[in-house]
Amino acid sequence: MTAALILVPILLSAQAPVADSQALSFDAALGLATSTPNVIGRAQAAREKVALDQRIAAVPFNPQVTVQPGWRLAPAGARQPELIAEIVQPWNLSGQSSARRRAAGLEEDALRAGARVAALDARLAAARAWIDLWAAERLVEEARREEAIAGELERLVARAAALRALTRADLAEARAYHAEARSTLLAVEGELYLRGIALAREVAAPEVAPLRTAGPAPSPPIPGAAQLAPLLRQAATLPFVEVRALQARAARAREIEDHAARGTILQLGAGVQRDAPGGLVVSGLARVTVPLFERGERERAGMRAEAAALDGERENALIAARADLASSVHEVEHTAAMLAVVRDDLVPASREAAQTRRRIFENGGATLLEVLQSDRAAVVAASRQWRIEAEHAWARTKLWLLVAEIALKGIEP
């Protein structure tokens, strides 16, 4: 048997995905990400607080009613029941009512920003999981193709070795190549399963089963490096920066509210006294609580410390957001350049080298080991292309989602 009969070109299409797995498009994954329990719970928390905050009373104190029944013991001729009744309404003169409404409003804003953070995190996680699964599916296709080629090669080499056309060393090389291909296939199939489960988790799928992707990788429109400066100036509007600023303002507002609650309290009221024998006394009542000693320093200290810590977190978040935007723009350009080299130069050259090496081998000018090495290089190059395509798609998607948040904040009333 000649060497020409050994290396027959083998082109196999990827196997069909598992029938019971569910295909999910990228847009559908992003939509489902915002319907996860965490995102829904954060949004519901903001709505619940707003609904109850709207019922905050204008007066921070309730009326106080005092009833004091008694019995007159002396003189003996006037022994009969007596009654003293008072009603008092406290009034805060230090602005507690407006302070607590402001604090409640800032807490609502912080909760809404927290809901935006949860939604953005969910979209980013779902996007990354979908793109990773998309890449894993294509890597499995390449691994299956390589395993099929290696298996067929091993069978042909075994047949040739039996006819003394090839040596036992060649057969051992072919078997090793097939075993390596099977090992790679098992590894990428395991990764594919985990990626499918990860996507199911990020979109809160009702069943714990691996999903699969549908459609091409995302390629959303994004700004270039020229638009980077305006984006960096607006980085403070990103939700994970804004939420800390709002939390700091809310902590300071709570401190002001607590300080006002310990301020000057005026109590106005009226009293009625039934005085034996047969007497009735009506009187007015005024009390003033002056904050000479206790001003809530114990409680306010924690609120002030919390606000200071949140200010630091906000500055760190802003630095991280600017760095993230800058690195995302660079990553888009960098992965695009890498993809162009691998897709347009490395992969075609590797395939051509493998095909050429086969023809040389068929004419007796190359060894089987050289052919296997060329085939491996071609497979590695194709797999590398899929990984870089996934990284490029993720870089574009991440930047797109961040820019969308900035734009959304810019058009809010």
Residue 1 has pLDDT above 60, yes or no: no
Q: What is the mean pLDDT of residues 241-263?
A: 94
Tell me, what's the pLDDT at 243?
95
Mean pLDDT lowest among 39-48, 64-73, 253-262, 391-400 = 64-73
Residue 39 has pLDDT above 80, yes or no: yes
Top pLDDT among 162 and 210 is at 210
Top pLDDT among 344 and 10 is at 344
Give 75-126 pLDDT, tens digit per residue: 777 778 888 999 999 999 999 999 999 999 999 999 999 999 999 999 999 9
| pLDDT > 90 fraction of the chain, expressed in percent and rounded | 62
Residue 135 has pLDDT above 90, yes or no: yes
Structural domains of the chain, ranges and CATH numbers in brackets: 3-408 (1.20.1600.10)
Top pLDDT among 411 and 27 is at 27
- Residue 160 in tokens: 């040739």
Exposure pattern of 46-82 as b/e (b: 16+ CB <10 Å)?
A: beebeeeeeeeeeebbeeeeeeeeeeeeeeeeeeeeb
- Let me know: does 201 contact 132? Beta carbons within 8 Å: no
Q: What is the mean pLDDT of residues 393-410?
A: 89
Residue 222 has pLDDT above 80, yes or no: yes
> How does the average pLDDT of the chain come out, rounded?
87
If pLDDT is split at 50, 70 and 90, which confidence band does 411 have? low
Tell me, what's the pLDDT at 158?
84
Q: What is the mean pLDDT of residues 167-189?
A: 88
The rounded Cα 257 to chain-centroid distance in angstroms is 33
If pLDDT is split at 50, 70 and 90, which confidence band does 413 have? very low
Top pLDDT among 227 and 198 is at 198
Dist CA 49 CA 108 (whole Å): 7
What is the value of pTM for the model shown?
0.84
Alpha helices in 165-238 (DSSP H): 168-202, 228-233
Dist CA 290 CA 67 (whole Å): 26
The rounded Cα 279 to chain-centroid distance in angstroms is 74
If pLDDT is split at 50, 70 and 90, which confidence band does 20 have? very low
Task: Of 66-75, 194-203, 374-383, give the range with the top mean pLDDT.
Answer: 194-203
Dist CA 350 CA 172 (whole Å): 24
Mean pLDDT lowest among 108-117, 197-206, 216-225, 304-313 = 216-225
Give 253-303 pLDDT, tens digit per residue: 999 999 999 999 999 999 998 876 778 888 999 999 998 888 888 889 999
Phi then psi for residue 309, to 5 deg, are: -65, -40
Phi then psi for residue 38, to 5 deg, are: -65, -45
Give 144-159 pLDDT, tens digit per residue: 988 888 888 788 778 7
Residue 358 has pLDDT above 90, yes or no: no
Top pLDDT among 365 and 295 is at 295
If pLDDT is split at 50, 70 and 90, which confidence band does 140 have? very high
- Let me know: does 332 contact 392? Beta carbons within 8 Å: yes
Top pLDDT among 9 and 244 is at 244
Q: Which of 126, 269, 303 is nearest to 205 (CA)?
A: 126
If pLDDT is split at 50, 70 and 90, which confidence band does 48 have? very high
Tell me, what's the pLDDT at 240?
92
If pLDDT is split at 50, 70 and 90, which confidence band does 174 have? confident
Dist CA 204 CA 40 (whole Å): 12
If pLDDT is split at 50, 70 and 90, which confidence band does 410 have? low
Q: What is the mean pLDDT of residues 210-229?
A: 87
If pLDDT is split at 50, 70 and 90, which confidence band does 2 have? very low
